[in-house]
């Protein structure tokens, strides 16, 4: 998303609108009148990212923070439909005349924050970015945790930027059973997790993310991502494992999220320590 909307850098915001939406309202701060007053006339000086948030930096030093969550899209044109359009920024002076936030389920958020607010509401709440965190740092944060590693990787306060799909792919590439408890992982396993994180996320970014069968995720021009064609386990239940050729991909549920893995070639170290609750 960040790379897709980079062309807006250098554009000036001429108007901010919150289109009428009769569906579930998103978290939007401050109210649209104040939001429009603060952004109108401001130049977009950069588009950044913090974990799974798109950060639109303005000349005033304010930052528009968009958190898409499950179904949100940051677009330059052609939203999937107008009923779920949550924010429209009208632009001038650049190649695109608008920047849009569209969210079908209404789980996303839009916030306009000052530098001080950004530190309190975003920076202090998130762990280091997944693309910059070393394996020793990840291990130190989680080595005493009794949580299953797949669940722990989704904790944005520990490491920012890993989503459910990508956690499954990371652990497959690492050869680690997603049910393994953090406190049973070895140093070499932590290193493999960190290396797999870099490999999977860079590959996914190169292919512009994953558009699954529900068609929810779209790139900035409302086109499909391509990483779904490279999934090793996610959404491939009962298919032969692409690595060992002996096992079949299995689906389980962890923390109310689907997990896919190969029980044959993903190591089961630590499973006998798993705490089972009724």
Write the pLDDT tens digit of every residue in 163-219: 999 999 999 999 999 999 999 999 999 999 999 999 999 999 999 999 988 778 888
**What pLDDT shows up at residue 227?**
92
**What pLDDT shows up at residue 221?**
85
CATH 3.30.390.10 fits 6-125, yes or no: no
Locate the domains of the chain by residue range: 6-125, 135-273
Tokens linked to 35 = 């939001």
**What pLDDT shows up at residue 271?**
44
**What pLDDT shows up at residue 268?**
65
Per-block average pLDDT, block size 10, for the chain (278 residues)? 95 96 90 98 97 97 96 92 94 97 94 97 95 94 96 97 96 96 95 97 94 85 90 96 94 96 80 34
Cβ neighbours of residue 163 closer than 8 Å, sequence gap 6 or more: 52, 154
Query: What is the bridge-based pairing of β-strands 27-29 and 257-261?
Result: unpaired
The SS3 assignment for 91 reads: strand
**What pLDDT shows up at residue 269?**
55
Its CATH architecture, for the domain 135-273, is Orthogonal Bundle (1.10)
Q: Using the CB atoms, write b or e for 21-44: b if 16+ within 10 Å.
A: eeeeebebeeeeeebbebbeebeb
8 A C-beta contact, residue 153 and residue 159: yes
């Amino acid at each position: 998303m960040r790379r897709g909307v980079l062309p807006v850098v250098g554009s000036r915001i001429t108007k901010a609108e919150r289109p009428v939406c009769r569906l579930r309202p998103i978290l939007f701060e401050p109210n649209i009148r104040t939001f429009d007053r603060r952004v109108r006339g401001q130049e977009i000086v950069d588009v950044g990212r913090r974990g799974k948030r798109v950060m639109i930096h303005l000349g005033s030093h304010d930052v528009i923070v968009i958190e898409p969550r499950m179904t949100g899209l940051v677009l330059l044109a052609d939203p999937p439909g107008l009923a779920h359009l949550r924010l429209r920024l009208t632009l001038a002076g650049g190649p695109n005349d608008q920047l849009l936030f569209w969210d079908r389920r209404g789980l996303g958020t839009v916030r306009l924050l000052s530098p001080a607010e950004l530190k309190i509401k975003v920076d202090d709440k998130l762990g280091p970015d997944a693309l910059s965190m070393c394996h020793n740092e990840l291990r130190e944060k989680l080595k005493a945790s009794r949580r299953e590693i797949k669940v722990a990787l989704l904790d944005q306060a520990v490491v920012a930027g890993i989503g459910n799909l990508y956690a499954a792919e990371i652990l497959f590439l690492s050869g680690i059973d997603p049910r393994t408890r953090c406190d049973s992982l070895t140093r070499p396993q932590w290193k493999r997790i960190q290396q797999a994180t870099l490999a999977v996320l860079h590959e996914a970014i190169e292919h512009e993310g994953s558009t699954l069968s529900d068609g929810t995720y779209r790139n900035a021009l409302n086109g499909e991502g391509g990483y779904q064609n490279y999934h090793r386990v996610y959404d491939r239940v009962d298919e032969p494992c692409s690595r060992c050729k002996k096992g079949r991909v299995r689906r389980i549920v962890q923390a109310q999220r689907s997990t896919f893995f190969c029980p044959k070639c993903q190591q089961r170290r630590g499973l006998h320590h798993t705490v089972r609750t009724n």
